[in-house]
Structure 1
Amino acid sequence: MESFGKQLRTLREKRHLTVNQLATYSGVSAAGISRIENGKRGVALIVFQLLNGQQRFSEIEAALPNLSGRVLSERLKELETEGVIKRDVIPETPVRIEYSLTEKGCALAPILEEISKWSSTWIDPS
């Protein structure tokens, strides 16, 4: 099965969009689009998962069993640095940490929904 990055690149090419045009449309930097297309493992999957709303690390980890906890932790930090996700620390015992999409992250929703539609139509699940 193709990665989200490859699917995004294919979708962008079919629509004859440059990375900069897609960045303008989505509100995500061209560097961010390139990073997704070039496949930082799990980035698009994490964003896609967080489209369902605020979640704890364990919930994201359970939903993405092909990502190790170490890789998930690294990608969450990178996405937070990029301003795509927000990390909320809830001061209770034990401390609870929840992740959600920022406005910038939510701007990826139309792109990921298109990729999802495209892959449902064109990619054989077997």
Structure 2
Amino acid sequence: MKRATKKFSQERLLGSGGYGEVYKGYLKDDTIIAIKCAKLGNTKGIDQVLNEVRILCQVNHRSLVCLLGCCVELEQLLMVYEYIPNGTLFEHLHGLHPGSQSELTRLRRLSIALQTADGLAYLHSSAVQY
């Protein structure tokens, strides 16, 4: 994962949140991936990552990103996801992504809301809680 992300270089950083950072990576076969790294020493973050792994191993839905693999045996937990191009939902909703419409139509916003609700409903009804 270090090689795929150029040693987790800042130029590969896609985003950062309360539980860790997400980096863009390239595998040897040129597959593009996203790698989430839990923050070191954050017990709550470790629990969050482990719960996310448990749930994502059980689900498959078109509105949810696919978990490709993970490593939970190292000091720093890693999760490997399929890479979704074209920026984040936040960037598109706020017109921050190059090429995104500065103003989304009501119909497009409704479509986004429906797809989001569909993914959340699927998670709520289909994922077995531990």
Q: What TM-score, normalized to structure 2?
A: 0.29
| Greater share of residues in helix | 1
Q: What TM-score, normalized to structure 1?
A: 0.29
| Greater share of residues in strand | 2
Greater gyration radius: 2
